[in-house]
Chains A and B, each alone.
Chain A
Amino acid sequence: GNSVTQMEGPVTLSEEAFLTINCTYTATGYPSLFWYVQYPGEGLQLLLKATKADDKGSNKGFEATYRKETTSFHLEKGSVQVSDSAVYFCALGGSGYSTLTFGKGTMLLVSP
């Protein structure tokens, strides 16, 4: 079956620190990979995606590279801001999949 494993949180960082949130997956077929973000009081929204191996998704200073050899899609940002505090979800799915399979989410807390 399909599954997504994320590092457990919360991840606590100071502003301008480097961020990595690990995500690995198990899937049948060739999924697309996604990062969704949930800001406090809001619904989940797509942050970035990659549709095939070696693709890099990027948005708002975040990036993640689809690594088929390590079945990973780690989220990175070079310098986090307080406004990045949120819960981040890694997911797989896309064409050929009826829905998305999500990880448990990782809470990020950024302090000034």
Chain B
Amino acid sequence: GAGVSQSPSNKVTEKGKDVELRCDPISGHTALYWYRQRLGQGLEFLIYFQGNSAPDKSGLPSDRFSAERTGESVSTLTIQRTQQEDSAVYLCASSLEARATGELFFGEGSRLTVL
């Protein structure tokens, strides 16, 4: 597609439920990134993929968070047993490759609200 696409754009869920957030990167971009943006905070790095591998998972806040990428394309971020502190905008970005020019192309984000 023309840009990075994320879905859903908004998700309201109850505490304890699982959620899946999807990211479609720009075609041909081998690197894909997930960030979290809490209200009033900066962008918090979660995980990145080079191809289908995740060399750096250091930003995942807990074992309730996981992510996968298939076909060097779509990625899914899964949050199990959601907590209220998981409420945030989850941003996905892609780039031609990691460790390159550093320019990331962002989607509009998925806003998650945990009640």
Chain A residues with a Cβ under 8 A of chain B: 4, 32, 34, 36, 41-46, 49, 89, 93-105
Contact = CB atoms under 8 A, between A and B. Distances in A.
Nearest to B93: A44
Contacts of A44: 43, 91, 93, 104, 106
- Main DSSP-derived SS at the A contact region: loop
Interface residue tally on B, bucketed by range: 20 to 34
Contacts of A97: 99, 102
20 contacts: A32-B101, A34-B102, A34-B103, A44-B91, A44-B106, A45-B105, A46-B104, A49-B103, A89-B43, A95-B99, A95-B101, A97-B99, A97-B102, A98-B56, A99-B48, A100-B102, A102-B42, A102-B43, A105-B42, A105-B43
A45 B105 CA distance: 7
Nearest to A104: B42
Nearest to B109: A43
B88 to A, nearest CB: 14
Sorted nearest first, the 4 A-B pairs with minimum C-beta distance are A94-B102, A104-B42, A43-B106, A102-B43
Given A43-B108, A43-B109, A99 B91 contact: no
A98 B56 CA distance: 8
